[in-house]
Each structure stands twice: as C-alpha cells, then as structure tokens.
Chains A and B, each alone.
Chain A
Amino acid sequence: MQRLAHIAGLVVTLWSAGLCAPVSYAGELFIVAHLPDREAMLDNSELLKILRGKQRNWPSGYGARVALPSRDSEIYDQVSQVLFQSSGSVMQRNWFKLVFAGRANAPVYLDNDADMLQFVTSQPGTVGMVISPSSIEQSDQIVIVKAVE
C-alpha cells in the first residue's frame, strides 16, 4: 500500500512537472537558416535560441529574422512542442510577449514548408523550421540541421 502511494505520488509529481504530457511527432523537424555573413555559423542550440526569441542577433550583430509555422500549417503544434514544449497558441503568445517587450523582432508566420523554404532562402539572416527540407540544398549560406537539443 505504501509502495502504491509512492508510485501515485511520483506520477502526480511527474504529471505536474509536465513530464508525462503526451508528445507525438509525425516526423523529424529541421532548422533552415540563411546565414547573413561568414561570422554567422552557429550550432544547433544557438539556432534554437534564435527561434525561441532568446537571442535576437547573429554574432556580427546582424538582426535575426524568425519564420514560424502559422496556425494553418500542419507542423504548427509540432514546432511549438520542440521550441516551447507546448501548443502552437502558446508559441504565438510567447512571441507576442517578446515583441511587445521590445526584446525581439516580430516573426513571420508561413503556411507550409514550400513557403518557409522560399522565404528563408530569399531573406538573409532568417531562421525557420520545416519538416521536409529536401527541395533545397545546403550551401555556404543555407544551413539545414536537425532540430534537436
């Protein structure tokens, strides 16, 4: 009985800590970045900082632009799970707050991978996330990495 109580306590603790929250990924996510200059090479965690609004510039000070999936995108909630461990609406609210605090530039919201890739490749300094980056190739300026911690 005491053991059962311990297990129940552990489950409640884990649940309240959000560790038991259901997480489902349809597939792997990739970060796509358009480097603005030669100084700009960053690792995965640094790119995630930009996507989370924790870092607003590239190493040279060049302003980073963030492109996120819109509510109509099929990876809206999936991207938010990776970035904020929460739903898409929480991701949007977090970004709203950052922009209005003056801590970040407003992100651009795009409906699908094709729009995301087109936008990132045409805008130096932009970082976005897609589920299928196969239609573009890496280059000196375009970097594609898996979105993992």
Chain B
Amino acid sequence: MSFAQSTFNANFFTHFEATDDQLASTDDVSWGESALFISGNVSPKLSYLAEASYLAPAYRDKAFKLERIQLRYEINREHAFSLGKIHTPVNDWNDSFHHGRIFFPTINRPLAFKRFIPVHEIGARLSGQNILGGEFGYDIVVGSGQSAGDEAFLNGIKSQTYTLRWHPLDSANLLFSYYRDELTAGDAAERSGIMNTSGRGDSQTADGAVSKVEYELFSLSATRDVGNWSVRLELSKNRTENGQFNDASFLYTGYHFDDTHTLYGLYDEVNVKAKEAFFKSGIERRFGLGYRHYFSVNASVKIEARRHVIRTPGAGTFEDNELQMQLAFGF
C-alpha cells in the first residue's frame, strides 16, 4: 500500500517586546526573533523539519539563521533516526520549544541558555519513545560540537548527548541528560557563539591560551500539571576541564484561571564559580511574577515584573526592577 500523499506544513512566528529596565543592551521597544517553520512527510516513514529565523541586524550579526533542518526516519513504532541540525535534547525546554515565543511559559528562555545550553547540534540522533512499558524514552546524539558552528563534522565527532525520559503519568515528565563536548577557543568558537544562539555570549578564555576545553553538562527537567497548576523545573550543572561545577536553576509555577489566563511565578539563576576558566564568573538571578493571556490560538500577551540581580567578581552588583511585555503571534 502506498502513502496516499506527502504532506507539507508551514507556519510563521514573530513577537514584539517592550521593556523597562536599566540594561544598556535592551531597547525599550523591539521586534524580536521571527521564525519560519516547515515540516511534513515525504513517505510514511520519512519526515522533514526546517526552521529559519530572522532578527534585525541591530540585535544579531547574522540576521537570517537556519535554526533547524532535519530528516527523520521511523525505524519502527518506538524508535527513530534523525540527521541534520537539531535542537539538542539536553533539557525539556530545548526539546519542547522552538524559536517562536508564543508557547514559551515565560517571556524569556532560562538564563542558562545564554551561557551553558548547547541549543543546536549538527549530528545524528537515535531516539525512542513509549518503551519499557510505555513510560520511558531515550535519545543518543553524536554531533559536530558547538565550536564547529554550522560546519557539519568540521573536526569529526566532538559532542555526545545521552538523554533518558520517564513519564509515569500523562501530566508528569522527567528528563535526565548528560552532554559532553570539546570546545575550541578562538575563531571557531566565536563563529558559533559557543553556547549562545544569538551570538552575544559572554564565554571567554582565561588568558587566550586555551585552545581546547572539555565541557560537561548534567541536566534534569521535570514538568507536572495538576489541576489548574503547572510546574516546570530545569536544573543543570556543568564544568570545564573537570573543574568546579557551575549551577543553573529555573522554576516556573503557573496557575491557570481558565484556558486563556495564567498567573505565574518564576525563579531563574546561574552561578558560575570563581575558578571557572572558560565562562565568566558570577551570579545572575531573575525572579518575579508574570501574567499570560491567549487572545486566540494564534496570539498571546505576557507581562512580567521581575527583580534582576547580577553579581560579577571585581565589578560589583547590578540590581534592577524590570517590567517587560511581550506580544507573540503564530500563524
């Protein structure tokens, strides 16, 4: 029996933000990242997915970026093989949300994404779902590594990701992952932005002499929906060169008044230890309250009032009360 017809699906996402804060890097009003998303099937077992984003040149060196492009082959009901530029399945946030903001539970990604999270990876992915009684899943990814940028396997296989998922209930998910990579300081790292999709990362070398850095990341994600409540926890620990562990934690708790109105709290923190050689040391913390409303399936507004604290060794403490609003659309 032949597949009746191939499928094609295209969507566009964009958002606008207004921010009141003291950070010089933030505009009062801005047009955020826009994304074109394409997916479909070419045969019953072969599907494709591509996502490209645009951000005004004022905010990013490359205005247009190819965020994802992948082919997926279904080996059988439980297992699949993917190839291409993918979202690295290191935590549930990165595996669940694409670049459009309409589905983000908060206005911004967790702070760890600016520093430690390898958002994309060019490589091969073997994944399984609904195995071992239907409650478990896994992912194994071998990739080019963050320092290769968009050049597939520039230096061979440099990164590995091992992910285990457990969903004991429909409304509860746990994810554990281990990621390792060999980062390269210098041109290649700058080209890829290392751990930062926007290319505005604050990664650094200690004295310019470091050429290759072993990087390890351990992550735990937990999501739970109970009645009108939703909770999302993203924890991670990372280190370079087997050194001291840096920490990142993100907690979101939302109360849904109905299908369209949600009040939520967020706590977000990264802590880079003093002896860290590759990433800037210091503590950054955001916490506050937010409100989200879906006007329709295609449009949402979020408003957040937050306290933002940045402690940088040798540079003192920055503290600010922020107010941010985001209008997000998806068509």
Contacts and interface: CB of A to CB of B under 8 A. Distances in A.
B259 interface: yes
B45 A62 contact: yes
Contacts of B96: 97, 101
A89 B44 contact: no
Contact of A102 (B39, B77, B228): B39
Contacts of A36: 1, 44
Contact of B1 (A37, A55, A92, A100): A37
Contacts of A62: 44-45, 74
Given A62-B44, A106-B9, A92 B297 contact: yes
B170 interface: yes
Contact of B7 (A17, A106, A122): A106
Nearest to B68: A102
Interface in B244-262: 259-260
Given A18-B228, A102-B49, A63 B259 contact: no
Nearest to A106: B9
Contact of B170 (A54, A63, A92): A54
Contacts of B1: 36-37, 124
A49 to B, nearest CB: 8
Interface residues of A, number: 37
Task: Give the residue among A36, A60, A106 with the most B Cβ atoms within 10 A.
Answer: A106
Contacts of A18: 227-228
Interface string B279-315: 0000000000000001011000000000000000000
Q: Report whether over half of chain A's contact residues are helix, strand or loop; otherwise say mixed.
A: loop
Given A17-B227, A101-B98, A96 B74 contact: no
Interface in B53-92: 68, 70, 72, 74-77, 86-87
B41 A63 contact: yes
B103 A93 contact: yes
B56 to A, nearest CB: 22
Given A96-B330, A101-B95, A124 B77 contact: no
B47 A105 contact: yes
**Residue of A49, A58, A89, A102 most packed against chain B (CB within 10 A):** A102
Contact of B103 (A19, A96, A123): A96
Contact of A105 (B41, B86, B103, B259): B41
Contacts of B87: 102
Nearest to B4: A123
B41 A55 contact: no
A16 B228 contact: yes
Given A55-B130, A100-B37, A105-B41, 8 more contacts: A57-B76, A60-B76, A60-B77, A62-B45, A63-B74, A89-B294, A105-B7, A124-B1
9 tightest CB-CB pairs across the interface, nearest first? A106-B9, A17-B227, A61-B74, A100-B98, A61-B76, A62-B44, A123-B4, A92-B297, A57-B77
